[in-house]
Chains A and B, each alone.
Chain A
């Protein structure tokens, strides 16, 4: 069954590593739905968060292909429902709609959004939440006119009960992770 899988790919800091990572996905014709890169909790180690829509078997195979890359330290993946996710959305509207219509203020208030920046011409509104929440605000604001809209894509972190599955312990070598322990038979 296809669903959204979120990969947490830890790599060394080397020019071109992002292309190596995305090539693993594009090779099997998967579109990356969301991507963010940042330095991880460990100095000099980068975390690439990649979301793709695929089945579990594909996600498993991709994680192994990712870990095969020399500069990748670890590649773990989890489905959406095993993660806590959040994204930031920014909306640019004409300031006059703020000044002339109380509706705009009501919308912002109702969605628990906030005004990030405002001048005589335009106002930027920020909303942090899940995809459906930022979409709902967009739909409501469309009535007064949205000049520009951007969302970060989800950033995800594993739920506490899955800490073992998504071990961040870099001292655990990647190859020892799952392979030979996963599939043993009773003899």
Chain B
């Protein structure tokens, strides 16, 4: 019954041109054929009992479909995320039932919160064994419900083409997200009459609502009349491929532009209207002036609590215009005075037609003034410290100085915030980081995926000594695939961000944050990966150059200041306008909520 409705959706609404010939195939071969029909060329995975028939079929398609053997299923899903985020295509990973499937969950959750298009295929025990606690049987469908955009269990071979067609359509359309397809072993070995038709419509799903013309007109009128407008943009611009439209909008209106973490690189960092990053460790000017603007224009972002801090004190003075593809985000956290629901690639060009040319010089000068304060109090010190130990920011700055235009992939923690604050981006999709879920261990496998998606761009992973040890086994993929991923380990021998919070908000009680680390160079040696450790400032620039010039993978460990903090910071529970520039300031404020 369940497939009947699914197939009818696909069959009735399809353009029926170029009907391919029917082939008799096994379910396993059908899976591969579906992937090829969707244009997939690289998948990430790990074999095991319930997915073995599909792995066997993979051998027949080695030339068309590259399979990357990871060292842990979490590595497969993060690599697929990195691939998807760098390329804009759907990332695909594959794992066996039971532990193989559960090991994917962290990455699927990460992709769900960061709207990354993924198709995850898991093997499942034979259909007749379902519910019997068979070896490696786990109900991955139920486990994955809260973290998937859609999921489906296939129990017979003839369901495979429609299920995968629907999976790809759902994963990449509208607000993208992860989809999981669980395929029983019998469905993989049985045969079917295979014919593939891509899915283009589902009756219960409107991926990209048509923009409301009245709302657009109201938005335009508010923007045209605004004296102190400010744009806060997010990943929606990258996901919609609307970088050019956004740039056109920006340059017509002259409005200052501030980015969320995931929006970074949607516009070049050196664009004159770009005023920096929002949020807890973002830049001083855009956070402060969020509470001074008269019209706040949110584009493809979801007002995450790390951006807004305390909602009671967030932009209360401003009229809020929200451009967003997902209707469930409207009025979720921040009330939208005008909501334009739709794909920004469509809504921005329609908006621009109604906008007046503007420049807002006085208002932009306010951002410049506050930036000068941040420059003097924070940036200056971060980049030219008087201490002997190297700062994280110096490393990012050294990387910028090489002008290699890399894809920067980060892990989670202090180094992530420093990378987001200081990395210079010239090109779109140049930052890949775990935003919503904040998954330590994301960097190394995601960098692998990014490099496979964009082999011609340098890929630099920036990771802490804590996070790198969560997925360090994926160095094995760099070795086996000969991938030229550059990994910079910023080693402060602490879980730095937690340590910073302990210092600021927990009376300097450093519970379980100091780390006794291995010799990272010897580990890299074990994988045959070139490496170097830097402890002195004068060695940093040459080491970065050596790393980037090296033809293959490289691990550069930089020993950085142990007790350095990321500033500025918005104390949890405070207003964005109360961003602290130094520790003494933030210490006086009690954290008002437990985060």
Interface residues in chain A, defined as those with a beta carbon under 8 Å from any beta carbon in chain B: 11-16, 19-20, 23, 27, 44, 60-61, 64-65, 67-68, 70-73, 173-177, 179-185, 187
- CB contact between B2 and one of A15, A73, A174 (< 8 Å): that residue: A15
Pairwise interchain contact A23-B145, C-beta atoms closer than 8 A: yes
Contact A185 B337, CB 8 Å, known A20-B145, A23-B146: yes
Q: Does B249 contact A (CB under 8 A)?
A: no
Contact A16 B141, CB 8 Å, known A184-B215, A185-B337, A187-B225: yes
Q: With CB as the reference atom, state the residue of chain B lying closest to A65.
A: B328
Pairwise interchain contact B339-A27, C-beta atoms closer than 8 A: no
A71 contacts which chain B residues (CB < 8 A)?
150, 204
B494 → chain A, closest Cβ, in Å?
34
B141 contacts which chain A residues (CB < 8 A)?
16
A26 → chain B, closest Cβ, in Å?
9
Pairwise interchain contact A179-B338, C-beta atoms closer than 8 A: no
A177 contacts which chain B residues (CB < 8 A)?
327
B296 → chain A, closest Cβ, in Å?
13
B204 contacts which chain A residues (CB < 8 A)?
11-12, 70-73, 174
Pairwise interchain contact A61-B206, C-beta atoms closer than 8 A: no
B350 → chain A, closest Cβ, in Å?
13
Interface range for B: 35 or more
- Which residues of chain B (335-391) have a CB below 8 Å from chain A? 335-341
Q: Does B24 contact A (CB under 8 A)?
A: no
Pairwise interchain contact B170-A70, C-beta atoms closer than 8 A: yes
Pairwise interchain contact B341-A184, C-beta atoms closer than 8 A: no
A16 contacts which chain B residues (CB < 8 A)?
141-142, 145, 151, 153
B203 contacts which chain A residues (CB < 8 A)?
12, 73
Q: How many A-B residue pairs have CB under 8 A?
A: 99
Q: With CB as the reference atom, state the residue of chain A lying closest to B3.
A: A14
Q: With CB as the reference atom, state the residue of chain A lying closest to B224.
A: A187
- 10 contacting pairs across A/B (C-beta < 8 A): A12-B5, A12-B204, A16-B153, A68-B326, A68-B327, A173-B209, A179-B327, A180-B339, A184-B214, A185-B218
B153 contacts which chain A residues (CB < 8 A)?
15-16
Seed contacts A73-B204, A176-B209; 19 additional CB < 8 Å A-B pairs: A12-B203, A13-B2, A14-B2, A14-B152, A23-B146, A64-B328, A64-B332, A67-B327, A68-B327, A68-B328, A70-B170, A176-B206, A177-B327, A183-B331, A183-B339, A184-B215, A185-B337, A187-B218, A187-B225
Pairwise interchain contact B335-A179, C-beta atoms closer than 8 A: no
Q: Does B407 contact A (CB under 8 A)?
A: no
Q: With CB as the reference atom, state the residue of chain A lying closest to B207.
A: A175
Pairwise interchain contact B206-A174, C-beta atoms closer than 8 A: yes
B222 contacts which chain A residues (CB < 8 A)?
185, 187
Pairwise interchain contact A175-B2, C-beta atoms closer than 8 A: no
Contact A70 B202, CB 8 Å, known A175-B209, A184-B338, A187-B222: yes
CA distance A151 to B221 in the complex (A): 56
B118 → chain A, closest Cβ, in Å?
15
CA distance A59 to B204 in the complex (A): 21
B206 contacts which chain A residues (CB < 8 A)?
173-176
Q: Does B480 contact A (CB under 8 A)?
A: no
B523 → chain A, closest Cβ, in Å?
40
A9 → chain B, closest Cβ, in Å?
11
Q: With CB as the reference atom, state the residue of chain A lying closest to B205.
A: A70
A17 → chain B, closest Cβ, in Å?
9
A113 → chain B, closest Cβ, in Å?
38
Pairwise interchain contact A44-B215, C-beta atoms closer than 8 A: no
Q: Does B172 contact A (CB under 8 A)?
A: no
CA distance A15 to B206 in the complex (A): 21
Q: Does B546 contact A (CB under 8 A)?
A: no
CA distance A12 to B5 in the complex (A): 8
B327 contacts which chain A residues (CB < 8 A)?
64, 67-68, 175, 177, 179-180
CA distance A30 to B222 in the complex (A): 39
CA distance A39 to B430 in the complex (A): 49
A11 contacts which chain B residues (CB < 8 A)?
204
Pairwise interchain contact B332-A180, C-beta atoms closer than 8 A: no
Pairwise interchain contact A179-B225, C-beta atoms closer than 8 A: no
Pairwise interchain contact B341-A44, C-beta atoms closer than 8 A: no
Contact with A along B139-164 (1 / 0, CB 8 A): 00110011001111100000000000
B63 → chain A, closest Cβ, in Å?
34
Pairwise interchain contact B1-A13, C-beta atoms closer than 8 A: yes
A59 → chain B, closest Cβ, in Å?
13
Q: With CB as the reference atom, state the residue of chain B lying closest to A16.
A: B141
CA distance A11 to B203 in the complex (A): 11
- CB contact between A13 and one of B5, B149, B221, B332 (< 8 Å): that residue: B5
Pairwise interchain contact A67-B338, C-beta atoms closer than 8 A: no
A29 → chain B, closest Cβ, in Å?
13
A69 → chain B, closest Cβ, in Å?
8
A180 → chain B, closest Cβ, in Å?
4
Q: Does B531 contact A (CB under 8 A)?
A: no
Pairwise interchain contact B328-A187, C-beta atoms closer than 8 A: no
B510 → chain A, closest Cβ, in Å?
33
Q: Does B212 contact A (CB under 8 A)?
A: yes
CA distance A3 to B209 in the complex (A): 32
Q: With CB as the reference atom, state the residue of chain B lying closest to A174.
A: B206
A181 contacts which chain B residues (CB < 8 A)?
212
- CB contact between A180 and one of B215, B221, B319, B326 (< 8 Å): that residue: B215
B336 contacts which chain A residues (CB < 8 A)?
183
A40 → chain B, closest Cβ, in Å?
13
CA distance A175 to B212 in the complex (A): 12
Q: Does B558 contact A (CB under 8 A)?
A: no
CA distance A179 to B335 in the complex (A): 11
- Which residues of chain B (254-298) have a CB below 8 Å from chain A? none
CA distance A92 to B196 in the complex (A): 57
CA distance A76 to B206 in the complex (A): 17
Pairwise interchain contact A14-B142, C-beta atoms closer than 8 A: no
A61 contacts which chain B residues (CB < 8 A)?
328, 332
B215 contacts which chain A residues (CB < 8 A)?
180, 184
A22 → chain B, closest Cβ, in Å?
9
B194 → chain A, closest Cβ, in Å?
23
A185 → chain B, closest Cβ, in Å?
5
Contact A27 B146, CB 8 Å, known A184-B214, A187-B222: yes
Q: Does B472 contact A (CB under 8 A)?
A: no
Q: Does B6 contact A (CB under 8 A)?
A: yes
A67 contacts which chain B residues (CB < 8 A)?
327-328
A184 contacts which chain B residues (CB < 8 A)?
214-215, 218, 337-338
Q: With CB as the reference atom, state the residue of chain A lying closest to B142.
A: A19
CA distance A68 to B323 in the complex (A): 17
Shortest beta-carbon contacts, A-B, top 8:
A64-B328, A179-B327, A180-B212, A187-B221, A173-B206, A175-B209, A175-B206, A70-B150
- CB contact between B149 and one of A14, A19, A70 (< 8 Å): that residue: A70
A176 contacts which chain B residues (CB < 8 A)?
206, 209-210
